[in-house]
Every structure is written in C-alpha cells, then in structure tokens.
Amino acid sequence: MKLPIAALSSILLVCSVTIANPVVPSTTASTEHVSSTAAPSSTTSTESNPSATPNTNGLDLSRHDSLSANMKNLLESYSKGQQDCSRQEEECKFINLKVEDQESLISHFRKKIDDLQRKFYKNGRDNSKYKNEMEQLKRELRDGYSEYTKLENMYKDCIFKHIHSTRQLELVKVNLVKSVFGASFNLELLEEQLLLILSQYSVKQYLERICSGEQSSACRNDFGQDPDAEQQQQDPDAGQES
C-alpha cells in the first residue's frame, strides 16, 4: 500500500515556503555574545523575558553592497533549496493524486467484474457474451494493477527525494545563520535568527534579484514577509498618487 497522505503532509511541513511560528528560545539562551549599540531598557531583561528576540545590531546588512561573496553564495543556495523543495512538494502531491485516481479505477473494474459474475451465473445458458466481456475486464484490471504499482514506486521515490532536499535546505539554513551570528548562533533559535536575516532589506533585495522571472511559490511573498508590507516597501509612493 502507498504511504498515507498524512505522512506526506508531515514530511513536507519541514520545507514550508514561508517561515512561521519560530521556535521559542529556551530560558537558558545566552545573549552575552550578541553585540548591541543601543542602551538596554530598564524594564527588559533576559530573566523576565526569556523569549526575547535576538537582535541584529552590529550586523552589517543594511546595504546591498555589504553582502560578501560568501553571503551571496549562501543566499543563492537557500533560494534554490526553497524552490527545489517547493517543486518536489508539488510533484509528490501530483503523483499521489494519480495514485488515488488509479485506486478508484481499480475499484471500478472490480465492481464491474463482480456484477458481471452475478449475471453470468444467473443466466445459466447463453454466457458467451458475458465471458468475452469478463476476459476484457480482467485484462484491464491487470493493467490497472500494473500501473498502480508503477505509480506507487514513483510516489515513494518522490518522498525520498523530498526528504533529501529538505535535509540539504536545513544544512544551508544552518550555514547561513552561522555566517551572520557567529558565536551567537543557537540551533534552537535557527528559524528565528534566519527570519531576522531574511528581513534585512539588503538580503531581501538580493533574493528578489535571484528570483527575478521565477514562478515558483518559493519566490513569492519573499520568504516570510507579509505581502502587504512588502508591497508598501517596494512602492512607497503608491499611496501618495491618489
């Protein structure tokens, strides 16, 4: 039998296009390595707020030209990984739909054969026309099972490929965050720190250039930013024209 669709959904969730619900930092997360140029608030501390968002003060990402060659390579790998995961996800869903359609077709053939067998035994005399039809249905059923097996193997191969793509993307995420946060890198805060990097204007601009002309969903809504906010950022004078 084929892998259940619930298993597919669980596997594909890791490779979601937008980054949502970041991991909440643990109470032992240290902030001593994060550089800061602003004076801390008197009402804020890591003890009273263990889920404080790691800051990016001191990270030189405010200008497009400040992105190093290594950073650009990592962003390109990240963008490609997102697109690969998105395409693989769509492919697996498509194959799974074909598997389900083939299951329905097999059930249809089996029902017709059962109905024909009842007619065959009920008639008792002239069964030649039923016999020929029965042989035809049995051939179609065998072909249906053969196609079903082929689709099943394609579906399983697709799942394994998607798992590989997802693991590769996770490695790229780790390397990307490490390259920016250095000693402040925290695996438990991976998604949260990644989101901070992707929210930088220079990073977003570079990702948009990479995705220029791409139709993949991984290149839409620009890696987790709110679409309305993104539109306002790209066209700040849009609201002043009216």
Q: Decide: 17 and 86 in contact? Cβ < 8 Å.
A: yes
3-state class (DSSP) for residue 195: helix
- pLDDT value of position 125: 60
- Does the global pTM surpass 0.85? no
**What proportions of the chain, in percent to the nearest 5, are helix, strand and coil?**
65, 0, 35
Each domain of the chain, given as residue ranges in start order, spans: 63-223
Which residue shows structure tokens 């029965």? 134
Q: Decide: 207 and 79 in contact? Cβ < 8 Å.
A: yes
Residues 6+ apart with CB under 8 A from 17: 82, 86, 217, 218, 220, 221, 223
pLDDT tens by residue, the chain, 242 residues: 444 544 554 545 544 433 333 333 333 333 333 333 333 444 444 443 444 444 444 455 554 457 888 999 999 999 999 999 999 999 999 999 999 999 999 999 999 998 888 877 776 666 677 788 888 999 999 999 999 999 999 999 999 999 999 999 999 999 999 998 888 888 898 999 999 999 988 898 889 988 875 544 456 444 544 444 444 444 545 445 44
What is the distance between the terminal CA atoms of the chain, rounded to a whole angstrom? 60
Q: Which long-range contacts (CB under 8 A, 24 or more apart) does 221-230 make?
A: 221/17, 221/18, 222/198, 223/17, 223/18, 223/19, 223/82, 223/198, 224/18, 224/19, 224/20, 224/195, 224/198, 224/199, 225/198, 225/199
